[in-house]
Copies of this chain bind each other. A is one copy, B any other.
Amino acid sequence: LRQFCQQAGAAGAFPAPEPAQAGKLVPLARGASLFRVGDAEGAVYVVRTGALKTIAVTEDGEEHVLGFHLPGELLGLDSLASGQHCVEAVALAETHVCVVSMHTLLSRSSATPGLSRELLQVFGRTAMDCHAHVDVLLRRQAGERIAMFLHGLLLRFQRDSSTSLELNLPMSREDVGRYLGLALETVSRGFTRLQDDGVIAVAGRAVRILNPDELRRIALLPPSGTDSEPPLERQA
Contacts and interface: CB of A to CB of B under 8 A. Distances in A.
Interface residues of A, number: 40
19 contacts: A38-B231, A56-B131, A56-B135, A58-B135, A58-B220, A59-B220, A64-B138, A77-B127, A78-B127, A80-B123, A81-B123, A81-B124, A86-B131, A110-B116, A130-B130, A134-B137, A137-B138, A138-B181, A140-B181
Interface in A91-117: 110, 113, 116
A82 B128 CA distance: 10
A110 B77 CA distance: 21
A222 interface: yes
A221 B60 CA distance: 9
Contact of A127 (B130, B140, B231): B130
Contacts of A137: 134, 137-138, 181
Contacts of A178: 138
A126 interface: yes
A46 B231 CA distance: 27
A128 B220 contact: no
A133 interface: yes
A128 B146 CA distance: 25
Contacts of A128: 78, 81-82, 86
Secondary structure type dominating chain A contacts: helix
Given A86-B131, A87-B131, A80 B138 contact: no
Interface of A: 38, 56, 58-60, 64, 66, 77-78, 80-82, 86-87, 110, 113, 116, 120-121, 123-128, 130-131, 133-135, 137-140, 178, 181, 220-222, 231
A131 to B, nearest CB: 6
Nearest to A67: B134
Contacts of A139: 58, 181
Contact of A130 (B58, B59, B131, B181): B131
A58 B77 CA distance: 28
Given A81-B125, A124-B82, A138-B137, A131 B66 contact: yes
Q: Which of A113, A124, A181 has the most CB of B within 10 A?
A: A124
A80 B123 CA distance: 9
A181 B58 CA distance: 19
